[in-house]
Structure 1
Amino acid sequence: MSITRVKRIGPKRVIIYVRLSDEDRYKKNKNDDSESIANQKSMLLKYALEQGWEVVAIYSDDDYSGTDNNRPGFNKMIEECEKGEVDIVLCKTQSRFSRDMEVIERYIHNKFIEWGVRFVSIVDNADTDVAGNKKSRQINGLVNEWYLEDLSDNVRRSLQNKREDGLFLGSFAPYGYKKDPNNKNKLLIDPVAAEIVKEIFSMYKSGMGYYKIAKNLNDRGILTPSNYKKENGSKYVCRSAKYGMRTQWCQDTIYGILRNEVYMGNLVQGKKTYVSYKNHKQINKPKDEWTYSYGTHEPIIDVDTWNAVQCKFKTRTRVTRTGKVYMLSRKVYCKECHQVFTRNLYKTSEGKTPYLKCKGVRLANHKCNNNASIRCDVLEKIIVDEINKQLDIYYNIDELDRLYTIQKKSLNSSSISKKEIFEQEKEELNTKINKKNDYYKSIYEDKLEGIISQDEFMMLREKFSKEIEEYKKRIKVINDELLNIKTNEEKVQTSKKVFEKYKHIDKLTKEIVDEFIEQVLIGEINPETNTRDIEIEFNLIRLD
């Protein structure tokens, strides 16, 4: 389709377009134009009068971003231009029209020319009728887009600061918690749901698998997290729920709860991000870029239970027909070939007897000579005896307290002072970042008003960007150091609690194995002595 434009005789018809991004404090009421919008209109009307142009319409968009392509005033202006009912579009600056380079190219440099519409912005001297002005307009468009990109980075930085300060930023509280009615960024325990969370951790710790736990909850009619939120008036909608059907507990839900550090009083946020300020599709961030905040709210699960459960995730274990995991599963390994010892049954006159044997013996491409099995009850007795030996050494409470105090003081003498120094440095770096962002916004406004040149703006922008990037790198190093300090403190505390918990052990359980044992190494049988080496590696820190 071809369009023929007839040159109009008489005053040029002008559409004035004005825009402001943020609400202005000078509005008298919600429906009034902001003072900045009024100032733009006044300036542009005066300019049009001086040029002898006829203003046929004024369109404005208050509280709309320059990247928003669904602005009502903007769309009406485009419609008028396409109809051929306007000769000139007049703005204060090109950025008022749009900060999106794609929009600038589409309309100012293409469609407007096709429609016979001239674009003029009076502060930055953009004029499509001036030869050689296009490159200047394109540079303006790039600078405006860079500003938007930097502004987006500033918003992200602001949210990141809130995450690092331990503020909860989620739309809905995790299952087991509710938002503080007086502070939406703080979590409070929901007593009803918290009891179910404790049960889930307890069942898994005792050896039950995901499926068995989910079935237990479904059989008892316990509401799933999404159904529980709905029952309590939340607007949360589970994406997997269809046609109003109630969801069921499943293995993925159980796994997600068991892996969520929120139940230990910590926040792990910033797991996803947007592709860009233009593309709002979410993508996953690498784990080392997640934000960890510790002790931000009251925990539902204690440190010992959490650590015991997480240890089980390090190795995959086979669930028996009863829905439980054998207590020594993935704990016993061959000292010769380092393959795992697997549990099997063999028939005797007394019935089926469980035993452990090196997996490497049966592997065709990995033949191991450590082919002698060991009965489960025999190995369990050996382990119980070794644990009791450790308890006999450490159980004296007075001595345990003394050793713990010495160990903690030794740790604190270096960690507390380091922690305070790191926290103070981190706070100072965040303050510097905020100041640089304020400076950057200020020089951008100076550039728009013509106070500083384009070259000066670009030089300062590059300088501020480099400084902010260095500050961010240092903050990441500090966060890693703070995490190491906290981990060491928890290890010492956990060791003391375990030794205080047990005086003597008569029978081995999954909980005891997870608390005491890192791994058990079993060697070959010596044909001369008919004995074999069995090494037990404990996972606790020695307090002496």
Structure 2
Amino acid sequence: MNRTRQTTDKSKNRITALYERFSRDDELAGDSNSIVNQKKMLEDYAKSNGYTDLVHFTDDGYSGGNFDRPGWKEMLRQIEDGSIGTVIVKDMSRVGRDYLQVGFYTEVFFREKGVHFVAISNGVDSDINTSSEFAPFLNIMNEWYLRDCSRKIKAVLQAKGRDGKPITNNPPYGYIKDPEDKNHWLIDEEAAAVVRRIFRMAVEGIGPYQIARILTEEKVEKPSYYQAKRGYGCYKNRCDMSKPYEWAGVSVVRMLEKPEYMGDTVNFRTKKLSYKDKTAVRNDSDEIVVFTDTHEAIIDRKTWYMVQELRKTKRRINTEGETNPFVGKIFCADCGGKMHYRNEGKRAGRNWRGLPDGSVRTTPACYNCGNYNNSHDQSGKVCCSHNIQAKVIDQLVLETIQYACKSVRMDERAFVESIRSASEIREQSEAKKLKAALKHQEKRYAELDILLKKVYEDNALGRLPDKRYEMLSAGYEKEQAELEQSIKTCREQLTQYDEDTDRTEEFLALVHKYTDITELTPVIINEFVDMIVSY
């Protein structure tokens, strides 16, 4: 199509919009759809046909199924303002690949706004009525192309993800893609230092929103700004560059929850329900696939899991902006409930008659059973106070840690033997029962498999009525489901015993890390103490 432009009153003195779009879907079609080639084609056409006041509107990396594109939206805004008189595109697919949306813009919106529309390769010109006769069919074919590309890309990502390769386009903050292998991540030391600090603060008992406030006050670049500034990541086109240091607590939470920092690859966290809808929906846990040790870790596993445990318990901040590191670690020996911390308090003193005597009595900080004061536990019982002063806990824990460290330094071999001996004794008493229960449950599970097969065959051969078959099979399947959960629990408990034995080496490394412990800090408490039982 090559003709001299006939300027109408509506388009006179208005600019000519040259719109280009390129996405990952278009990579399958080769270089002909590249932004550079599109711009050249549009400029050549516009100049040879007498169009002036040319302005480019470009969307690079945006799918045709998505109309929430910055270049497209800006062009529509200027059309609404009456600034644009003509829109020229390479072909109809550049507008989009949703035939209903494309039809609305080209057949309704542009006409209502008096905009002249041209799709060069398809021979579509809104000033020539007959040129648009096949436009609806072109739009349908463009949408089919998008659907087909989406299906192919999904199949490729599934294969890649099941093979242990990361399917995310952008590594998390703290990592960059290996220039020699795009499926491998390298540590970005500058960002990794911030990640390590965030986890260190979490171990110290500082909450995510406190961490975010500290980083903001210290003017540490937030992840989106850091990545956008360096030209990588998904934020380079949509980061608010005017707020480089405004950390959000939710961002810190997400970082603390990422197994990727342990060196793992996590695939299929989310899915998209339709190629038309780019909204990500979280997958069920059984659909998420994790591959361990696929890249170098920024955070060791012990620290990562410690942080996950710490975050399970909410910690109140006192007037000095501090939290109690023992919260969530002290449990009642009788009911198993958590011991609650009570701050030091003051109250009016009273004489033997119960009347105020003008004195002030101080109540020391302490821990009480959470099921005390008519707060019933799951068994319906009311527990005793089990009051114990906080300074007593502090002293006992400090002395216990000091004694353990001293024992290791005096005779490491004897200490290791005592720990392993204690583990063996516990395994003989408790693990032996678990192993027997596990063996019995696995045997019964296998028996139920045989019974299910038998009732199915009896029903198929007419020896067992349908109603009876449904009742028996439902009962067997229910019992199997319960056994499956019980077997899983037994195995996890047995694994825990093995891990407890293996943790001896971890404890030794921890002792060697500290030369002399004279006072308790949140880090020391969280590293040395898993649980305290108060009698």
TM-score normalised by structure 2 residue count: 0.52
**CA-to-aligned-CA distance 1:269-302 (integer Å, 9 cap, x gap):** 2211111345443222122211212111111112
Corresponding residue of 2:369: 358
Corresponding residue of 2:388: 374
**RMSD over aligned Cα atoms:** 5.2
Distance 1:77 1:488, change over 3 A: farther
Distance 1:247 1:79 in 2: 49
Letter in 2 for 1:217: L
Corresponding residue of 1:192: 190
CA contact (8 A) 2:225 2:240 kept: no
CA contact (8 A) 1:268 1:291 kept: yes
Task: Decide which of 204, 228, 231 is 1:230's aligned counterpart.
Answer: 228
Distance 1:268 1:373, change over 3 A: same
Letter in 2 for 1:344: R
Distance 1:209 1:279, change over 3 A: closer
CA contact (8 A) 1:274 1:280 kept: yes
CA contact (8 A) 2:372 2:382 kept: yes
Distance 1:83 1:99, change over 3 A: closer
Unaligned runs of 5+ in 1: 1-19, 32-59, 104-143, 408-479, 524-544
Distance 1:404 1:364 in 2: 37
Q: Matched residues, percent identical?
A: 22
Distance 2:297 2:157 in 1: 24
Q: Is 1:520–2:529 an aligned residue pair? A: no
Corresponding residue of 2:330: 332
Distance 1:285 1:189 in 2: 28
Distance 2:27 2:98 in 1: 10
Task: Decide which of 502, 515, 519 is 2:511's aligned counterpart.
Answer: 502
CA contact (8 A) 2:330 2:533 kept: yes
Q: How does 1:234-253 map to 2 (within 5 A)?
A: 234=232, 236-237=234-235, 244-246=242-244, 248-253=246-251
Distance 1:309 1:90 in 2: 57
CA contact (8 A) 1:214 1:254 kept: yes
Unaligned runs of 5+ in 2: 1-25, 32-36, 39-89, 104-118, 347-359, 424-487
Distance 1:307 1:489, change over 3 A: farther
Letter in 2 for 1:361: Y
Higher mean C-alpha deviation, range 375-384 or range 349-358: 349-358
Distance 2:217 2:260 in 1: 27
Corresponding residue of 1:52: none
Distance 1:354 1:381 in 2: 14
Distance 1:303 1:211 in 2: 23
Distance 1:266 1:400, change over 3 A: farther
CA contact (8 A) 1:22 1:63 kept: no
Distance 2:262 2:124 in 1: 55
Letter in 2 for 1:295: D
Distance 1:191 1:369, change over 3 A: closer
Task: Decide which of 152, 162, 165 is 1:164's aligned counterpart.
Answer: 162
**CA-to-aligned-CA distance 1:311-359 (integer Å, 9 cap, x gap):** 2123333233333331210111223333321111335899663211112
**CA-to-aligned-CA distance 1:379-423 (integer Å, 9 cap, x gap):** 233344555666677775567899999x9xxxxxxxxxxxxxxxx
Distance 1:383 1:228, change over 3 A: same
Distance 2:140 2:30 in 1: 19
**CA-to-aligned-CA distance 1:453-501 (integer Å, 9 cap, x gap):** xxxxxxxxxxxxxxxxxxxxxxxxxxx9xxx999999876654122232
Q: How far 1:154 moved relative to its partner?
A: 5.9
Letter in 1 for 2:269: K
Secondary structure of the structure 2 residue equivalent to 1:275: strand
Q: How does 1:384-403 map to 2 (within 5 A)?
A: 384-387=398-401, 396-397=411-412
Corresponding residue of 1:464: none
Corresponding residue of 1:113: none
TM-score normalised by structure 1 residue count: 0.51
Distance 2:92 2:496 in 1: 51
Corresponding residue of 1:282: 280
Distance 1:498 1:278, change over 3 A: same
Distance 1:364 1:161, change over 3 A: same
Distance 1:369 1:21 in 2: 68
Higher mean C-alpha deviation, range 332-341 or range 362-371: 362-371
CA contact (8 A) 1:21 1:62 kept: no
Distance 2:170 2:372 in 1: 52
Corresponding residue of 1:302: 300
Secondary structure of the structure 2 residue equivalent to 1:281: strand
Higher mean C-alpha deviation, range 221-230 or range 175-184: 175-184
Letter in 2 for 1:521: V
Letter in 2 for 1:510: P
Distance 1:161 1:390 in 2: 51
Letter in 2 for 1:497: E
CA contact (8 A) 1:23 1:63 kept: no
Secondary structure of the structure 2 residue equivalent to 1:166: coil
CA contact (8 A) 1:394 1:499 kept: yes
Corresponding residue of 2:216: 218
Q: How does 1:9-408 map to 2 (within 5 A)?
A: 23=29, 69=99, 98=141, 155-234=153-232, 236-237=234-235, 244-246=242-244, 248-347=246-345, 353-363=364-374, 368-387=382-401, 396-397=411-412
Q: Between Structure 1 and Structure 2, how many residues are aligned?
A: 350
Letter in 1 for 2:391: D
Distance 2:418 2:125 in 1: 78
Secondary structure of the structure 1 residue equivalent to 2:183: strand
Distance 1:399 1:269, change over 3 A: farther
CA contact (8 A) 1:209 1:323 kept: no
